[in-house]
Amino acid sequence: MAQKTLTDELIGRQILLLAILLVVIGVSQYLTLRIVLFHSEARSLHQEISVLAPIIHRAMVKDSAAHFHSLATLLVSRLKAPGVEVMITNRFGVIIANSSTLIPQVPPINFTQSYFIWHEHVVVDAPLGSPLHPSGYVWLMAQSHALNRILIRDIEFFSFLGFLSLAITGWLGSLSVKNSLAPLEQIRDGTARIAHGEIGHITTLKNPPKELAELGDAINTMSLSIKELLDQEKMLSEQMRRFVADASHELRTPLTALNGFLTLISEDNLTEAEVKQGFHAMRQEGQRMARLVNQLLTLSRLDNAKDTATHSSEVDLGEWIASVRPLLEPLTHDHLLQLVPAAVVVSVDRDRLTEMVFNLVENAARYTPPGSHITVRIGRHMDKGYIEVTDNGPGIKEADLPHIFDRFYRGDRSRTSKSGGSGLGLSIVQALAEAFNGHVTVANAPSPQHGAIFTIWLPLSSSH
């Protein structure tokens, strides 16, 4: 069995509602017309009987009942109209005169209603003389066949118009519904294209109803969101691929060096000085590998559980910078280190803050020539405190600035004067800053100055 379409469903409901309405209107019209026709006929009979009844009564009072029979018959024959029957009885109910072709039967007396139906006749009655002591009774009876034929013709004509209206409504409704549902078909086609792989497809509707316009907008938003998520997934997959490749490369280099030195030492062809130099090199490579693994673990913790990886507290940056100076000076022994403290209290993890600034100072010392200046400045701007690390080295290429915090990114090879780091230090700085609801920025010093400017922005403590 074929499934009904929405168009067929809506058209069917329109026709059904119209059919119910026509039935209600037809029944109401039939009942109203029947009442009007029968009341009109009864009114006409009442007008006749109101004239006839006094004449018959006077005749019955004036003449004896024996002589009245011929007079009553004459009156009945003269007053009888086409389709109208007359019956007269005395006060005992004995028929005196009757023009009816019905079975000689006296109709019931019913003075409480304006008319009643008896043997398919509309009947009105009246007493002759006083209603309390009548001399007889008179009935006028009009056949209802003509009235029923009028009602039947009315039903037939209304039924014809009803079926014609239903047919026209079905045709016009089909055109109207199809036109109204055209935007819905566009939406259906658009979602089908999305389902077949056209992620990000946008369906443009022309003058749609409000509900369909909202549905179209929702589907377009969903399509763009899915495309954005897929693009992000693709980007993250590519970043993960590069991350794994770079991490493998970074780990392979010290492992290769360690294996090489171990091979040379195992062959026992080295002098004591060469062995000593080899152990020193292996220790450096081991420290480098341990540092890389620790950095990877730090980034992994920050990616998966920032809330548990950090613990914020109030830190006075002025006091803190003075306490970490001994840790920074070994990094800048061949540079000129300058600290510019200020009384700024922020909400941060003290140890993580030291790690961030340590990475930035180490980065500045690694990529700037000996003798250059490195400045760590504390300050406050609006609702943020900041730590600014500047140098007067060669700066960063503009093409590298958008990627400077990417993991393992080292676009400017000219800055790796001392073999370079792992390429994770700045990524850790950015991840830690974001973990404390802050951020880190980078820029080159404005001309005519030169050098790089890294700024860590942190939220001020709520109590200050």
Q: Is the pLDDT of residue 24 over 90?
A: yes
* Candidate ranges 3-17, 102-116, 218-232, 399-413; pick with highest mean pLDDT: 218-232
Tokens of 175: 């055109």
Question: Which carries the bigger pLDDT value, residue 420 or residue 365?
Answer: 365
Beta strand pairing call for 439-444 and 313-316: unpaired
pLDDT range class, residue 39, cuts 50, 70, 90: very high
> Is 212 a residue whose pLDDT tops 50?
yes
Give the fold, CATH level 3, of 6-167: Beta-Lactamase (3.30.450)
Which residues on adjacent β-strands are paired with residue 441? 455
The pLDDT of residue 38:
92
% the chain with pLDDT above 90: 8
Place of tokens 């300058």: 338
> Which tokens in the block code for residue 452?
């790089």
Token pair for 462: 């709520």
pLDDT of residue 417: 35
pLDDT in tens, 121-156: 899 998 888 888 888 888 888 888 888 999 999 999
Mean pLDDT estimate for the chain: 79
**Rg for the chain, CA atoms, rounded:** 55
pLDDT at 27: 92
Residue 33 vs residues 37, 143, 162: alpha-carbon distances, Å: 6, 17, 17
Residues near 435 by beta carbon (within 8 Å), at least 6 away in sequence: 302, 306, 309, 310, 352
Q: At a CB cut-off of 8 Å and minimum separation 6, what does 169 contact?
A: 14, 15, 18
User: CA 216 from chain center: how many Å?
Assistant: 10
pTM: 0.47
pLDDT band at 416 (very low <50, low <70, confident <90, very high): very low
CA separation for the pair 337, 331 (Å, rounded): 9
Domain 311-459: state its class. alpha beta
> What are the boundaries of each domain within the chain?
6-167, 311-459
Q: Hey, what's the torsion of the CAs at 186, 191, 192, 197, to 10 degrees?
A: 130
Each residue's pLDDT tens digit, 263-303 = 777 777 767 777 777 777 777 777 777 777 776 777 666 66
Q: Are 140 and 85 in contact (CB under 8 A)?
A: yes
